[in-house]
Amino acid sequence: MNDESCCLVSCDKPLDQDYWDAQYKAKTTGWDLGLVSPPIKNYIDTLKDKDIAILIPGCGNTYEAAYLLEQGFTNVTVIDIAPTLVKIIEQKFIDNTCIQVLLGDFFSHKGEYDLIIEQTFFLRFTAGNASKIYLENAGAFSKRRNAFWFVIQ
């Protein structure tokens, strides 16, 4: 397998920072819709409180974050493990004080959020008990312990 190929079904390499950074460097991001996911957009449109703390883990190209900001949300945090991507996102939102862009591992991140929005991040956790670990960590972030939105396509 090519070192910079996107492995959507199986992968013989760990899905670590080097792997994800290589995907963005090579532009092998087949999971990227190129726009905010319609079900997530519809959900965002139902939210009334524009000041809630929102986290987008494994944020990718941040279409959801951009849409949230366009709709007037004031407390958005995005986190991704890929340095190449995070540099691009930082530049995209350089003058916007309503978003915090973080380079880091979701599982090492500390914070409290009213809502966690994600589309494909959860899908990378299919082996063993990884999805259970994700949900336990996501629950630790939630102020309300029930504020999750998952879209599995």
pLDDT in tens, 97-114: 999 999 998 878 888 888
Contacts of 59 (CB under 8 A, 6+ apart): 65, 78, 79, 80, 89
DSSP state of 35: S
Does residue 3 have a pLDDT over 90? no
- The side-by-side arrangement of strands in the sheet containing 76-80 is 99-103, 76-80, 54-57, 115-118, 148-150
Range with lowest mean pLDDT among 19-23, 25-29, 77-81, 119-123:
119-123
Binned at pLDDT 50, 70 and 90, residue 86 comes out as very high
Provide the Cα torsion 8, 14, 17, 20; round to 10°. Answer: -20
Average pLDDT, the chain: 78
| DSSP conformation class of 72 | T
What percent of the chain is predicted at pLDDT more than 90?
36
